[in-house]
Amino acid sequence: MYVPTWLSWSSEDHQGCIALFSLTPIFMVAVVVLFSRPGTTLTRFETPKDRNNPNDDEPWTVASFFAIGVISGVVHLFVVGSAIVGIGHSDLGVLEMFLPLPQRVSAAGYGSYAALQEGVHLFTQFDWWVTVVAVVIFMHQLLYKASLHLDEKYQGKQDLLWIAVGCLIVGPGAAGSAVLVVREQRLRMLEELKSGKKDPER
């Protein structure tokens, strides 16, 4: 959605890309359905595990989370960095990048191209904050449930803080992927404890 601005495309092309951006939730669902369960069929909901080596898929699982996190974090830092570099050439400040200001839409003038740009900016701001809140709450609950079985005294306040800070610095995609990596390790540790393969004192 930001490419037309960077490449100085026409306003018509910019509006067309904005319209396509509204279809991204549909594209996201299609991508998740097609690629989230590699090696499976429509009638099989998960890849069968080897009982003799249940952790054989761990490197692939962790690597997928890590790759998604790195890509998401790089994109987030690139977009934010590019916006910060361009702040000196516009009236947009660092605070205005993340703080939704609906009055900027009305101030731009009804029906103007500037109002369209401000409206898209406002939408992406609200969309980003909703995503951050959802990631913080959902990922903390996943990590909390996985950790509580390992330590009954676990409260998760520090993990909650790290997830929130991570979302603000590297973006919710990278922070959420990091949580999934930690959760995966704790779940596998729990399974090893249940099977008696690991000393609980360690």
Instruction: Please state the rounded mean pLDDT for residues 36-44.
Output: 53
Cβ proximity of 163 and 179 under 8 Å: yes
- C-alpha 33/C-alpha 42 separation (Å) is 10
Q: Could you write out the DSSP letters of every residue in 146-191?
A: HHHTT-TT---HHHHHHHHHHHHHH-HHHHHHHHHHHHHHHHHHHH
Kindly state whether residues 31 and 121 are assigned to the same domain. Answer: no
Q: Is 202 part of a structural domain of the chain?
A: no
Record the pTM. 0.66
Residue 46 placed within a domain: no
74 and 12 in a common domain? no
Are 24 and 83 members of one domain?
A: no
Q: What is the tally of structural domains in the chain?
A: 2
Q: Based on the domain organization, do 32 and 118 belong to the same domain? A: no
pLDDT mean over 103-107? 75
Q: Are residues 67 and 160 in the same domain?
A: yes
Instruction: Map tokens 């009236």 to a residue.
Output: 91
Structural domain of residue 35, as residue ranges?
1-41
Residues 12 and 80 in one domain: no
Percent of the chain, pLDDT > 70? Answer: 73
